[in-house]
Amino acid sequence: MTTHATAQPSYLVDTGSRKGLMAWLTSTDHKRVGVLYLYSMISFFFVGVGIGFLMRLVQLTPFQHLITARTYNALFTVHGVIMIFLFVIPGLPAVFGNFFLPILIGAKDVAFPRLNLASWYFFMIGAILAVLSLFTGGGAPDTGWSFYAPFSLKTGTNVSLAVFGAFILGFSSMLTGINFITTIHRLRAPGMKWFRMPLMCWALYSTSWIQLLATPILAITLVLVILERFFGIGIFDPAKGGDPLLYQHLFWIYSHPAVYIMILPAMGAITEIIPTFAKRTIFGYKAIAFSSMAIAGVGSLVWAHHMFTSGMSSLATLLFSLLTMIVAVPSAIKVFNWVSTLYKGSIDFQPPLLFALTFIFLFAIGGLTGVMQGALAINVHIHDTYFIVGHFHYVMFGGTGFAFFAALLYWFPKMSGKMYSKKAIYASWFPMFIGFNMLYFGMLILGMMGMPRRYYVHLPQYHTMHVVATVGSWFLVLGLLAFFGTLIYALFKGSKAEDNPWGGVTLEWTIPSPPPQENFEAIPTITHGPYHFEQESK
Amino acid sequence: MSEHAEHSLEHANHPGYGTFIKVWVALLILTGALVGVSHLGQTYAVWGLLTLTPLKAGLVFYFFMHLKYEGPLLKIVVLVTLGTLLIFFALLFSDVAFH
């Protein structure tokens, strides 16, 4: 693998008329937009972590202490809204998709650079409105992040503003989806055929279609909630002839595929990391590419498995249970292919691979507990318990969160031009892994014991596991602080990163670290697939 | 392609007033039919909405929005989108119709 010197300045250098913060806030460079997303999302992530930490402290005793019941309701709502809408949904596509998609396909930028910057502004406006809803009107929403009707129509808290914030965030998501689809269709380098694209691009492509097709449904639903709150139009309110189950359907038609918006790019990042550190081509390229599309397709048809106990028809419960089982197949294909790629590979054990393997382990637990819930009989037993909370966090935090960390470790040297301390990262992994499993496996056990979620007090029989989970949250937060502390330290004091520190073979490793402003001196011509390792072909 | 040929093609892609008026009359008749069936009871009204409204939308897409004169790719994209919507409807009705 050769790297190329370039005459262009790095994207971190201000070369226009504006300097400093203004240069960043007005830049249409996809890499800068990705970094803007990164900083804003990590800020929101730590607000969410702080709230989660506080909720765990509340559960340290069986009795009410620290905060009131109503504040607890507001906390779990805000924790959900911030983590889901401001971190997990946009997380990987907005940060790593923006930064790396054009580079991975050999382009200078995304198809619509100005629209890309506008998407970030929509994101920030939506985020600010959601945060403002905590302190204005009737106070922070207390409905849970799903805003279920009819409670969301009647509560005196500031649901309208929070919902409007989510509506604006939806625009950011749709516009990013349009941008990525057009970029992949129109801006691939010469010779970059569909099956020569790195699999991260396939994951982003599938995700973008979900963003484009499913997000408008949520947007319209949220507008209906606002209209219902202000004008009482009676779509969802049973007192006015409305149907609250219709709200649940419309909400989950978006929000279940949103789970795949969250996880598909994470799987894409893992698919980039594993061949690099196994030093061999990916096992089953086309199977992984098609499984991404299959997850996007079938995953859009399973939404009502969130509603098995809602009073929905028996036919619908049967249909959605079956469809839910089917979606496990393409997910499992990916896991088997990752493991097969590692088999007989020349493993180079580095921090990104450690986090990628952690992702596979945690995601497998999250996935299997998800299949359990797809079975109707089990679902009735564990519905609305801590089992659901534990499963969701295994998928979203253990899955998307750890994949985000793995991707950050993998691409950090490329993005910043600096290398972090690997020892410090290994040290931070240990409390994160132990704390994570104490916290969320504890929740799975609590759920099986019957502990309902969203209660601010608990019965004595649940106390021991609650203490275990809370202590786990301390380890987890400690690990997170050490992890991000290490990266922040590296930004300022880290050694200079090589252009290709991991021996990767996709296009981003052929350009300098940090990348130049227009990515490539000349648009490359692609002659082979993305995971072409020289030592393997000898 | 010469400027003249491009102009001719563009001209050929625009239907005459006659077509527009015929489609407009068809839309008026369908609207009248929709109002009519809505007086026959809720079931008829719902089925009327589910069948006649997409037909009206189809006419608007096909003639007024020039789908008829587009290439096969765009037509396929529209069909896939409508197919997706139909699947959503079918799954939704597996609940609503059997409550």
DSSP string, A186-233: H-PPTT--GGGS-HHHHHHHHHHHHHHHHHHHHHHHHHHHHHHHHH--
What does the alpha-carbon distance between residue A477 and residue A483 come to, in Å, rounded to a whole number? 10
Mean pLDDT for chain B?
Answer: 84
ipTM over 0.85: no
Residue B12 has a pLDDT of: 56
Q: Which residues of A touch B95 (CB under 8 A)?
A: 245, 249, 304, 312-313, 315-316
How far from the centroid of its chain's Cα atoms is residue A25's Cα? 24
Is the predicted pLDDT of residue A200 greater than 90, yes or no? yes
Question: Among A136, A129, A143, A373, which residue's Cα sits nearest to residue A236?
Answer: A143
d(CA A53, CA A47): 10
- Please name the residues in contact with A171: beta carbons below 8 A apart, sequence gap of 6 or more: A119, A122, A126, A219
Residue A9 within any structural domain of the chain: no
Give the mean model confidence (pLDDT) for residues B1-25: 69
Judged against a pLDDT cut of 50, whether residue A274 lies above it is answered with yes
Is residue A2 very low, low, confident or very high in pLDDT (cuts 50, 70, 90)?
A: very low
Res B1: pLDDT: 42
Q: Strands A495-496 and A418-419, how do they pair?
A: antiparallel
Between A247-251, A303-307, A511-515, B7-11, the lowest mean confidence (pLDDT) is in B7-11
CB pair distance less than 8 Å for A313 and B99: yes
In contact, A487 and A152? CB cutoff 8 Å: no
Dihedral pair phi/psi, residue A418, rounded to 5°: -125, 150
| pLDDT exceeds cutoff 80 at A370 | yes
User: What confidence tier does B15 reach under pLDDT thresholds 50, 70, 90?
Assistant: confident
Position A1 scores a pLDDT of: 40
Residue B95: exposed, middle, or buried by beta-carbon count in 10 A (0-12, 13-18, 19+)?
Answer: buried
Q: Where are the alpha helices (DSSP H) in B39-71?
A: 42-59
Q: Which residues on A lie below 8 Å from B99 (Cβ)? A: 311-313
Contacts of A109 (CB under 8 A, 6+ apart): A28, A29, A30, A102, A518, A519
pLDDT tens digit sequence for A490-529: 999 999 999 999 999 999 999 999 999 999 999 999 999 9
pLDDT at res. B16:
81
Query: What's the rounded mean pLDDT across residues A439-447?
Result: 96
In terms of C-beta density within 10 A (0-12 exposed, 13-18 middle, 19 or more buried), how is residue B70 classed? middle
| Residue A121: pLDDT band with limits 50, 70, 90 | very high
Whether A371 maps to a domain, the answer reads yes
Q: Is residue A36 part of a domain?
A: yes
Give B87→chain A minimum CA distance, Å.
Answer: 8
Give this prediction's pTM: 0.90
Q: Return the sign of the alpha-carbon dihedral for residues A435, A436, A437, A438.
A: positive
Q: Report the length, in residues, of chain A.
A: 538
Q: Give A470's pLDDT tier (boundaries 50, 70, 90).
A: very high
Residues of B with Cβ-Cβ distance to A312 under 8 angstroms: 95, 99
What pLDDT score was predicted for residue A495? Answer: 94
**How many domains is chain A partitioned into structurally?**
1
Q: Is A21 among the domain residues?
A: no
What band does A386 get if pLDDT is binned at 50, 70 and 90?
A: very high
pLDDT at A6: 62
Q: Tell me the pLDDT band of A152, cut-offs 50, 70 and 90.
A: very high
**Minimal CA–CA distance to A409: which of A313, A494, A282?**
A494
Residue A17 lies in a domain: no
Q: Does the structure show a pLDDT above 60 at A204? A: yes
| A53 burial via Cβ count (<10 Å: 0-12, 13-18, 19+) | middle
Distances in Å between the alpha carbon of A141 and those of A130, A170, A217?
10, 19, 22
A437/A327: higher pLDDT? A437
d(C-alpha A277, C-alpha A289), whole Å: 20
User: How confident is residue B2, by pLDDT bands cut at 50, 70 and 90?
Assistant: very low
A431-441 in b/e form (b: 16+ CB < 10 A) is bbbebbbbbbb
Assess if residue A2 is contained within a domain: no
* A 157-216 near B (Cβ less than 8 A): 213
Q: How many angstroms separate the Cα of A240 from the Cα of each of A150, A243, A245, B41, B56? A: 11, 9, 14, 20, 30
Q: What letter would DSSP give residue A425? A: H
Judge contact between B27 and B52, C-beta under 8 A.
no
> Which of B81, B88, B98 has the CB atom closest to A316's CB atom?
B98
Does residue A130 surpass a pLDDT of 70?
yes
CATH of the domain at A209: 1.20.210.10
Q: pLDDT value at position A536?
A: 58
**Which candidate, A87, A55, A85, A74, places its Cα nearest to that of A135?**
A74
**pLDDT reading at A33 higher than 70:** yes
User: How does A158-168 read in b/e, with b if 16+ C-beta sit within 10 Å?
Assistant: bbbbbbbbbbb
In a domain, A333, yes or no: yes
A57-94: per-residue pLDDT in tens? Answer: 999 989 888 888 888 888 898 899 899 989 999 889 99
Band of pLDDT at residue A30, cut at 50, 70 and 90: very high
Instruction: Let me know if residue A180 belongs to a domain.
Output: yes
Q: How many Å apart are CA A115 and CA A91, to the nearest integer?
A: 18
pLDDT at A56: 94
Is residue A520 classed as helix, strand or coil in its secondary structure?
coil
When computed from its CA atoms, the radius of gyration of chain B, rounded to whole angstroms, is 18
Residues of chain B that touch chain A, judged by Cβ-Cβ distance less than 8 Å: 81, 84, 87-88, 91-92, 94-99
Mean pLDDT of A260-286: 94
Record the tokens describing residue A17, joined without a space.
């008329």
Domain that holds residue A530: 27-537
Our measurement of the distance from residue A2's CA atom to the centroid of its chain's CA atoms, rounded to an integer in Å, reads: 33
Burial of A24 (0-12, 13-18, 19+ CB in 10 A): middle
Q: Is the pLDDT of residue A3 over 70?
A: no
The residue ranges of every structural domain in chain B are: 3-96
Task: Using the structure block, give the residue that is written with the tokens 């086309």.
Answer: A286
DSSP 8-state code for residue A495: E
Q: What mean pLDDT is predicted for residues A303-330? A: 91
Q: What is the dihedral of CA A45, A49, A55, A57, to 10 degrees?
A: -170
Give me the mean pLDDT over the B63-69 stretch: 89
Q: How far is A106 from chain B (nearest CA, A)?
A: 26
DSSP lists the bridge partners of residue A496 as A418
